[in-house]
Structure 1
């Protein structure tokens, strides 16, 4: 791997391929695979990631919002794209870009049918989401008859899939709750399908569901965090390779005398002579203030260098008193060995939050295929 000469997020496409193939190996041959590339593909680069996954024969993509799907279409993605949280204001743009909406309540279903009818569409693909326990988005089981009636009244749309979302599939202490969700979904899907003269795809499993509940793979699974290298458990993490390495360099080294302070608000005051290194990365790049004051760390020449004082907008200062290094040396913020998950734990958060927070001003580079 080339040494960093500036702050850069290095994305390993070989690791992405490995993760995809591992997840696929857990499925039956006829189970489809939906790659979740919302939030810039979990903080990496949605267009590059999706284009590469398209070459690996992913069946579907999923994004959170319409504009994310539009970007993928502009980048050459031709596979179906599910928009997980569309808003009615963007329905015309969604249709113009052949995106497929998740319709999750009576209002959004009725409004989409209205615009699809006005556009004289025939059997436009939509997805119907049911709430089985996450209590976030989705129809309830009591809405099945209403949905059936709305669908009978129009041929403008066709239900491509029925789906739900597991609330705690990574937590085996919540196995009973998850199994109840799966059984509830089966019941709902059966009722909806009986009201149709065709069979939509069924899907409920996210990454952890895919790994922990093979009986619930149904027709398709959805994977986000697993593609990017995290299995949500120490056991499963061994089977994945984090695709992102956030690197930076040492801009300047200071010798700080006893009694001096470092950074804004004098948040760190020395009680002995120490050496600090200033790095060109800060909370505007995704390293939040919660990592400051000795909680978070970076890796310099295979040693941990803890963050001193408050994280600045564009810089952090780290303790290199016992590390042999020089200005211009490479610094690893996170990567395959010192992972984003480990760094996130120092701030009592999760890898998802850290990796999706990496600012778009951080340069992206690609290695591998």
Structure 2
């Protein structure tokens, strides 16, 4: 791979393919795969990721918000796209771009039927979400008769899928809770299917559900973090390949005398003679202030360099006292071979999801095939 000459996020499509095929190998042949590409495909590049996954014959995509789905359509993505958290004001736009809403409450269901009718839609595909314990979005058992009766009174929409979301599928200590969620979803979905008179696609498993609960694969599974190389456990992560490497360079090297300070608010005061490197990346690029004051680190020429003082908006300073390096040298912020996004996130008591989805859109993306 070429050495970085500026701050870049390299995206390895071969790793993406490996992850997709590994996860698919856990499924029965007729089980569909929905790829979650919300939040710029977990901080990478949603349009390019989705276009590539279409060549691998993925069945479905999911985004969080309508504008994310619009961007995919404008990029030429043709597969069905589920909008997980649609807002009523965007319903006309959603229909205009052939996106499929998650209808999670009586108000959202009734409002979407009203808009679909105004837009002269017939059997417009929608998805019904049940709340089985995560307690974010979704109908519960008391709503099933209402859903069925409402659907019978309209020809504007038709249910494409019934789904729910596991709350703790990665935590085997919560296995009893998860099995209860699965059984609850079975009961709710079977009751509604009987009332509707037809059987939509059913899906419940996220990445950890795919790996830990094969009995809950149903007709389709959803994978987000697993596609991007993280398995939510050390064992499973070994079977996956992180697709993203965040690189930057050394802009300038300083010698810091004993007693001198570095950065804003003099957050670091040197107790001895040392050397620091200034890097062109900061909290506006997604490296939050929580990584400052020695919690976070980068890798330079194979050695760890801890962050010194506070993270600035556009720069960080790192301790290179015991590292042979020069201005212009490449720096690995995180990647699959050195300090991973998981290890960097853990250093600041957070998770890889938060770190990778925070990488700013001003950071240049480079696709590797």
TM-score of the alignment, normalized to the shorter chain, above 0.5: yes
The aligned counterpart of 2:147 is 147
The aligned counterpart of 1:161 is 161
The aligned counterpart of 1:121 is 121
Measured after TM superposition, the shift of residue 197 of structure 1 is 2.4
Measured after TM superposition, the shift of residue 241 of structure 1 is 0.2
Q: Does 1:348 align with 2:358?
A: no
The aligned counterpart of 2:299 is 299
Q: Does 1:361 align with 2:341?
A: no
Measured after TM superposition, the shift of residue 29 of structure 1 is 0.2
| Alignment partners' CA distance in 2, 1:142 and 1:56 | 40
Measured after TM superposition, the shift of residue 71 of structure 1 is 0.2
1:156-178 deviation digits (Å, cap 9, x = unpaired):
10000000000000000000000
The aligned counterpart of 1:196 is 196
SS of the residue 1:271 aligns to: coil
The aligned counterpart of 1:213 is 213
The aligned counterpart of 1:288 is 288
SS of the residue 1:195 aligns to: helix
1:283-338 deviation digits (Å, cap 9, x = unpaired):
00000000000000000000000000000000000000000000000000000022
* Structure 1 residues 1-80: aligned runs within 5 Å: 1-80=1-80
1:85-117 deviation digits (Å, cap 9, x = unpaired):
000100000000000000000000000011111
SS of the residue 1:49 aligns to: helix
Q: Does 1:260 align with 2:260?
A: yes
* Structure 1 residues 97-136: aligned runs within 5 Å: 97-136=97-136
SS of the residue 2:196 aligns to: coil
| Alignment partners' CA distance in 2, 1:21 and 1:314 | 38
1:181-234 deviation digits (Å, cap 9, x = unpaired):
000000001001001122100000000000000000000000000000000000
The aligned counterpart of 1:251 is 251
SS of the residue 2:306 aligns to: strand
Measured after TM superposition, the shift of residue 141 of structure 1 is 1.1
The aligned counterpart of 1:237 is 237
Q: Which runs of 5+ in 2 are unaligned?
A: none
| Alignment partners' CA distance in 2, 1:51 and 1:141 | 38
Measured after TM superposition, the shift of residue 25 of structure 1 is 0.2
| Alignment partners' CA distance in 2, 1:102 and 1:360 | 27
SS of the residue 1:331 aligns to: strand
Moved over 2 A (4+): none
Q: How many residues align?
A: 368
| Alignment partners' CA distance in 1, 2:323 and 2:222 | 43
| Alignment partners' CA distance in 2, 1:201 and 1:87 | 23
- TM-score, normalising length: structure 2: 0.99
| Alignment partners' CA distance in 1, 2:255 and 2:206 | 49
The aligned counterpart of 1:318 is 318
1:64-91 deviation digits (Å, cap 9, x = unpaired):
0000000000000000000000001000
| Alignment partners' CA distance in 1, 2:365 and 2:28 | 34
RMSD, matched Cα: 0.4
The aligned counterpart of 2:340 is 339
| Alignment partners' CA distance in 1, 2:280 and 2:353 | 23
Measured after TM superposition, the shift of residue 2 of structure 1 is 1.0
- TM-score, normalising length: structure 1: 0.99
| Alignment partners' CA distance in 1, 2:15 and 2:222 | 18
